Structure formats: structure tokens, C-alpha cells
Amino acid sequence: MSQSNKDAPIAAPLPAMPVARLAKGFRDIEAAELAGLQRMLGTIREVYESYGFDALETPALEYTDALGKFLPDQDRPNAGVFSFQDDDEQWMSLRYDLTAPLARYVAQNFQTLPKPFRRYAYGAVYRNEKPGPGRFRQFMQFDADTVGADSIAADAEMCMLAADALEALGVKRGDYVIKVNNRKILDGILDVAGLAGDVSGRKLTVLRAIDKLDRLGIDGVRQLLGPGRKDDSGDFTQGAGLSPKDTETVIAYVESGGRDVASTLAKLGELVAQSEVGRQGVNELREIASLIAAAGYGDGPIVVDPTCVRGLEYYTGPVFEAELTFEVNGDDGKSVRFGSVGGGGRYDDLVARFTGQKVPATGFSIGVSRLQAALTHLGEKPKQPLGPVVVLVMDRDHIADYQKLTHVLRSAGIRAEMYLGSSGMKAQMKYADKRNSPCVVIQGSDERAKGEVTLKDLFEGAKAAAAIKDNKEWKASRPAQLAVAEADLVAEVGRIVARYQAGTEG
């Protein structure tokens, strides 16, 4: 080794580059899906506003004690919530739903709000849960809530709101069902089973067991009501520890659904005949059924279903769940059902956590992300949104002229952009195609001298090009291309854009 090499300084190691990776349980959403999402949100908003609800937006972050711990997944670390400690040592959490922040808002502004207070809200919520197929840690909900009304008519209205929203989105009657139940009936069943006033947590374990009926079946629920259940992986879940007799009392409740509302209510009435709170729950369900029938929803879209219990702990009365009933083929070719796409219920004690005063409230929430996925199987395929008109840059010495053309289009309300890259015409045309642009504006030196521009309809051009057999024929035909005076630019571009505005191409 030479002396010069020996004494050469050792180069410092380059800093490690971060790996471009998506956080587990989260996903990126691209333009086509976002466009469909906005259309969907607009439809739901129209339905909610037609019922008299007004918009409210609350922050994604709340103080942890304000949110409370009501998730059904409380046996997990962090109680299923993303939390951190602020610089003032206060614990903060990302909202896990839109209802707990509403309760905080109502308590904070109670004296100035109209009673009842009716609001709708939509936005992302966050669950620190184990992600899985179709189950994400961030997803969107769209809620409507009535706070300050103890009338059962408010709960019946939520069921009708859910049905109307689904039908407005294109889900036909027969392809969905709104299940209705009442937590008071379950409380009555637990009274009969000897769990009245239980503080050991067994009541919550029973609730969770029933909530898993669709996934585990009746035998799995029976095991979770008793000593516990071991799953296929060997993991053991501790059960509620009910006696065989009390277990069968709960099972009888789960299986009490009859052929119609009247028979179901009769069976439930028999099961809770010895419980005052249970009888109250049955009577409230009977009133909801009567109101729903009177409003014209008595032909099957809204049904009484004892298996509907909802996982959140804060519900105190009627609960509802919107479920899609149609089947689709999954990626593996097997038939699957989407199941629940929304739910809600009465939560009369949530605001009282802040005020000490009972404030009746009820609400319904649509799981927007899940429902959007389901709608794609009903023919609502995501469409690529119509892109901007692209003004090509043919001569970089005339950038100001191209910018002026772009400004003229924008001033007329036409979405437009000037190409800002450094590539030639062929690459610019490819760029416009990728942007799903309806047309491009071309102005070379010859057009500029004449006070003209050339417009190329990209959708019609693509169709024509596909039908043309050779390059000579293509050059002769100049498909979907026309020269217009600069003074006619807005009118002619407007005609092309309007042609594709209703149904997006691409």
C-alpha cells in the first residue's frame, strides 16, 4: 500500500435512508376512490340535512379522560385507543368514534345549544386494534345524533334515517336490513340470570360473547358464556363463567327471533317477565315497531333482532345495526357477505359523565369506508375523475402566452393547467392522458401568428386512433382535432368538457 493511500481519510458512512413503507393498518386513497367517496358523502349529507340535522366538526384529538373507555376491546393494551402524553403531561387520544367528542361538545356548550340538539358529522376515526383483511386502524364514519330528546320517536327516526341513506346510495330494499334491539332487554335477561348490579365485568363479557354470534356461531357463544373458548390457534378466551342454567337463559334470548315482529316481542316478553327493566325494553321496542310501520317502513327493511347488541359499552337503550344482506364473490371465489355497515343507539349517560345530569341522546353512524367497498359490488365502480384541460408548452420562449391561455380558461370556470415539466410534445400528450384530461390546447408559432389554437379531444382521439389501421391514415384523418380562434377558446373547450362531465371516461 502506498503512503498516499495509507494516509487518505476514511469517508464517513452515508446516513441510512428511510424505507418508504405504509404504516400497518393504514392505507393510501387515490383520486378515483376519493371522487367516489365525495359523491357518497354528498348523498348522505343530503339525506341527513333533509331530516333537519346541521353540521358540526370536532377535533381528531381529545383529552383521553374526555373520550372515556367504552370500546369492546378493553382487554388489549391502551384499550384500543392511540394515545400520547402532551408537553404539559396531559394524556391525549385520537378519537375512536364521533360520539364521545359530541358528548364533550354538548357538555361544554349545553346552556347555549337548542334542545334537542341535532347534528351530523363525518371524518376519520382511529382504532388501535389488530388490522386484518378489510379492517383498518383509520376509517371514516358519518354520524347523525339527536341530543336532549328522551322520546322513543327519536330512536325510530334513526332507523328510518339509516334506511333512507342506504336507499339513496343505491342499496335496494331486500339488499339490506336495519336490525333493532334494546339493551334494557339484555339487562333484564342478566337480571334473570343473576347478574343484576354485577361489578365483576361478567356483564360486559356476556355482551361481547353475543356480539360475536355471526363469527363464532351459537356453540362459540355458549362456550364464551360459560368457562371460555379455545380458538383454532390454541389461544384461550376466558368466558363469563355463567352456570349451565344461566347460559341457556342467555342462549334462549339470542335465539328468540320469531317469524315477525309480534312473535319476537312476545318471546322476549316471556323471557324478561320477571324484570322491570326488561319489560320496559320490550315496550320501547314495541313502540319503535309501531312508529316505523306507521311511517311506511313496515315491509321488512327494519326488523327486531335480539342478536343486535352493539359492542360499545355506553349504549343504554335501543340499539340498531345496518347490515347488507346480498352476497358477492370474494377474491378466492367463495361467496361472502359484507354484513354490518353502520349502527348506533341510545346513550343517555354519556353527557352526564361531564355534567352529572342525565341528558338523553341517540344516534346512528355509517361506516363509510366499508359501505363504499360494498357499493362497488353493486355496480358503483370507482371512476377516474375528469382531469384538467392541459395547455401544452410548444415554445418555452412564450411561457407567458401559454399561462395567459390557461388563465382565460380558469377565469371561465374551466379546470385547467399549463404543463410545467420539461419534456417534448409526445411526453406532454402522455401526461395529459394520465391526468384523464378531456382535451389539450396546442399553440405553435403558426397558430399564434393566426390568432388560433388547436384543440385535441383526447377521448374521441383515442377511440378514432383505435379504429385506424395505419399511420398514414391517422395523419390524413387528424382524429378529434380542430383549429379555433383564440376568441372562441372558452366556448369550444367548454363544449368538450361538458360532453364528459356527467359520465367520466378513461
**% the chain with pLDDT above 90:** 51
SS3 track for 209-223? HHHCHHHHHHHHHHH
For residues 284 and 318, the answer to whether their CB atoms sit within 8 Å is: yes
- Mean pLDDT is lowest, of 57-66, 71-80, 153-162, 428-437, for 71-80
List, for residues 14-46, the tens digit of each pLDDT value.
788 899 999 998 999 888 888 889 999 999 999
- Distance, CA of 366 to CA of 122 (rounded, Å): 9
Can the peptide bond before residue 131 be classed as cis, meaning omega within 30 degrees of 0? no
Strand duo 335-346 + 361-367: pairing: antiparallel
Structural domains of the chain ordered from first start: 31-378 (3.30.930.10), 389-501 (3.40.50.800)
The string of DSSP letters for 133-179 reads TTB-SEEEEEEEEEES---HHHHHHHHHHHHHHHHHTTPPTTSEEEE
| pTM above threshold 0.75 | yes
- Distance, CA of 474 to CA of 461 (rounded, Å): 10
Q: How confident is the model at residue 329 (pLDDT cuts 50, 70, 90)?
A: low
| Contact residues for 233 (Cβ-Cβ < 8 A; gap 6+) | none
List, for residues 96-153, the tens digit of each pLDDT value.
999 999 999 999 999 999 999 999 999 999 998 887 766 789 999 999 999 999 999 9
- Distance, CA of 281 to CA of 269 (rounded, Å): 9
Helix axis angle for 244-254 and 213-225, nearest 10°, is: 160
Q: How confident is the model at residue 74 (pLDDT cuts 50, 70, 90)?
A: very low
E strand residue ranges, 171-313? 176-182, 228-230, 236-238, 302-304
Across the strands, what pairs with 322?
178, 342
Residue 365, burial from CB neighbour count under 10 angstroms (0-12, 13-18, 19+): buried
Q: How far, rounded to the nearest angstrom, does the alpha carbon of residue 263 sit from its chain's CA centroid?
A: 35
Average pLDDT score, the chain: 86
The pLDDT of residue 202 is above 60: yes
> What does the pLDDT read at residue 506?
45
